[in-house]
């Protein structure tokens, strides 16, 4: 017997977050066919990714981090981390694409739920324009600066098998989060 699709009653799961060293984090993830976005499989995956991100807690998560090699990311930016003070609401991007605008780079500390307990300095483009499908299959297109831009670049890197330590300069150390925190407090 065929079951009715009832997303409202779906209880999202908190999935295990895959750690650096796992092959799935090194793969180029596959695009999602737009006609499949509204299927149970993809809708449930998106809900599970969101609950996993919040439970971690984190502000961004890519599907490979839960062991699924598909081009899907979820993220939000708290207002306190947004240069505009507004923040970015919970966003789903499927098959995201990024255009980097200008040459300006910004260096800041990043962490990653798949590189647990570490922080490292990474240079990223300060301004980008990105687009992708949302969870309903509609096209989303936004300009982003600062942390918003950093976050989207970080999550999209996961879809190409790149973790942020690979982007760090040789002279910059990957710090334990406790060491990093002590350093921040001194400044």
Cβ distance to Ni ion smaller for residue 15 or 112:
112
- Indicate the residue whose CB is closest to Ni ion: 112
Rounded CA-CA distance 74/60 in Å is 6
Interacting span for Ni ion (CB under 5 A) from 72-80, 94-102, 110-118, 123-131: 110-118
Q: Are 129 and 143 in contact (CB under 8 A)?
A: yes
Cβ distance to Ni ion smaller for residue 46 or 112:
112
What contacts 42, CB < 8 A, 6 or more positions away? 32, 36, 70, 72, 94
Interacting span for Ni ion (CB under 5 A) from 75-83, 89-97, 105-113, 141-149: 105-113
Cβ distance to Ni ion smaller for residue 74 or 112:
112
CB of 66 to Ni ion, least distance (A): 12
Interacting span for Ni ion (CB under 5 A) from 34-42, 67-75, 90-98, 111-119: 111-119
CB of 49 to Ni ion, least distance (A): 12
CB of 113 to Ni ion, least distance (A): 6
Rounded CA-CA distance 77/80 in Å is 8
Rounded CA-CA distance 23/144 in Å is 30
CB of 160 to Ni ion, least distance (A): 12
What contacts 179, CB < 8 A, 6 or more positions away? none
Catalytic residues: 155
Rounded to 5 degrees, what are φ and ψ at 21? Answer: 110, -25
Nearest to 67 by CA among 115, 25, 21, 11: 25
With vertex at residue 4, the alpha carbon angle to CA 74 and CA 33, rounded to the nearest 5 degrees, is 40
Q: By CB under 5 A, is residue 112 in contact with Ni ion?
A: yes
Q: Print the binding letters for residues 55-94 with Ni ion: x by CB under 5 A, - otherwise.
A: ----------------------------------------
Binding footprint of Ni ion on the chain (CB under 5 A): 112
């Amino acid at each position: 017997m065929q079951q009715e699709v009832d997303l409202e009653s779906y209880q999202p799961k908190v999935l295990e977050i895959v750690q650096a060293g796992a092959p799935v984090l090194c793969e180029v993830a596959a695009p999602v066919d737009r006609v499949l976005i509204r299927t149970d499989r993809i809708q449930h995956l998106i809900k599970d990714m969101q609950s996993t991100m919040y439970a971690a807690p984190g502000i961004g998560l890519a599907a490979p981090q839960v062991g699924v090699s598909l081009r899907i990311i979820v993220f939000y930016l708290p207002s306190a981390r947004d240069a505009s003070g507004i923040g970015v609401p919970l966003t789903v991007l499927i098959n995201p694409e990024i255009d980097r605008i200008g040459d300006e780079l910004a260096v800041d500390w990043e962490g990653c739920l798949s590189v647990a307990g570490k922080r490292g300095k990474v240079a990223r483009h300060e301004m980008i324009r990105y687009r992708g499908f949302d969870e309903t299959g509609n096209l989303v297109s936004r300009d982003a600066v600062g942390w918003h831009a950093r976050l989207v670049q970080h999550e999209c890197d996961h879809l190409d098998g790149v973790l942020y330590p690979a982007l760090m300069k040789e002279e910059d150390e990957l710090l334990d989060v406790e060491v990093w925190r002590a350093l921040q407090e001194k400044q």
